[in-house]
């Protein structure tokens, strides 16, 4: 099991540096503004949803001034699983995402299934 958690902001490359500074974290992707973390099966659980929301907290108005709306922000969970895929979200996490108007995207695939395509 490998889970990829990412916070993505749909903006042009010219805004990456400003967003890095505003949010206090640097994008670790070159194709979109994104911060991504990888969680392996035996890693300690971290609520990346809460972490991503804490990064954004209090910064929506500044993002809006450069043309970044909440519709441009999404949280992604990419889940590579073996045998069975189960995801669980607390009501608190889902409420926090919903209140902020941020889209949650989930994609799951079975390990090694991509290598057979």
Residue 15, both tokens: 């805004």
Q: Which band of pLDDT confidence, cut at 50, 70 and 90, is reported for residue 117?
A: very low
More confident of the two residues 91 and 117: 91
How far from each other are the two terminal CA atoms of the chain, in whole angstroms?
A: 20
DSSP 116: G
* pLDDT tens per residue across span 82-108: 888 888 899 999 999 999 999 999 999
Residue 37, both tokens: 């973390």
Query: Which pLDDT score is estimated for 111?
Result: 84
Cβ(66)–Cβ(93) below 8 Å: no
Task: State the CB neighbour count (10 A cutoff) for residue 58.
Answer: 8
């Amino acid at each position: 099991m490998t889970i990829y958690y990412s916070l993505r902001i749909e903006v042009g490359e010219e805004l990456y540096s400003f967003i890095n500074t505003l949010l206090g974290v640097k994008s670790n992707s070159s194709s979109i503004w994104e911060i991504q973390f990888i969680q392996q099966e035996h890693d300690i659980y971290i609520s990346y949803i809460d972490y991503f929301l804490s990064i954004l907290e209090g910064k929506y108005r500044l993002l809006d001034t450069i043309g970044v709306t909440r519709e441009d922000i999404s949280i992604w969970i990419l889940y590579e699983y073996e045998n069975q895929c189960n995801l669980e979200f607390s009501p608190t996490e889902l409420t926090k995402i919903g209140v902020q108007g941020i889209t949650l995207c989930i994609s799951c695939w079975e390990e090694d299934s991509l290598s057979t395509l």
